[in-house]
Structure 1
Amino acid sequence: MVVELGAAFLPANLGLTLEVREGHASYVPSWIKVLKNDKRANFKTSSNAQRAADFLYRFHAKNSAAA
């Protein structure tokens, strides 16, 4: 779920183009199960996705400045 959330966070800020892929829908049932079993799963994964996105923003900014 971290990857899916990160994919939602990143494109606009990094100027990336979204590409719809059929495989994404196959993850939904497993994530619904996780969310039903762990009330905090959404907060945990959102937090991890934001940390990953922040890392990529810093990496992008560093490499853009060096170019």
Structure 2
Amino acid sequence: DHASYLDGWLEVLGNDKRAIFSAAAHAQRAVDYLHDLQPDLNEEEAASLAGST
């Protein structure tokens, strides 16, 4: 339920004005972790993937 999800965030933000920055920092760490799990592509592989869309 979207409304209750948003209500939860509004409550968190009402109690802690910096919560959004903490959540964003945690999300960025998760993205960085997942990105680091991906293999490095050489230029030819990257070009091949870019052209396959």
State whether TM-score is above 0.5: yes
Higher relative contact order (CA 8 A, sep 6+): 1
Supply the distance in 2 between the matched residues of 1:48 and 1:42 (Cα, whole angstroms): 10
Residues 1:36 and 2:8 aligned together = no
Structure 1: gaps of 5 or more residues = 1-22
Q: Quick one: percent identity of the two aligned structures?
A: 43
SS at match of 1:48: helix
- Counterpart code for 2:5: Y
Instruction: Give me the TM-score of the superposition, normalised by structure 2.
Output: 0.63
Which residue does the alignment assign to 2:5?
27
Of 11, 20, 30 in structure 2, the residue corresponding to residue 52 of structure 1 is 30
Deviations 1:6-52 (A, max 9, x none): xxxxxxxxxxxxxxxxx4x1411101100111011001010000000
SS at match of 1:49: helix
Supply the distance in 1 between the matched residues of 2:16 and 2:34 (Cα, whole angstroms): 28
Q: Any runs of at least 4 consecutive aligned residues in structure 1 with deviations exceeding 6 A, and if so which?
A: none
Structure 2: gaps of 5 or more residues = 42-53
Number of aligned positions between the proteins: 40
Instruction: Give me the TM-score of the superposition, normalised by structure 1.
Output: 0.51
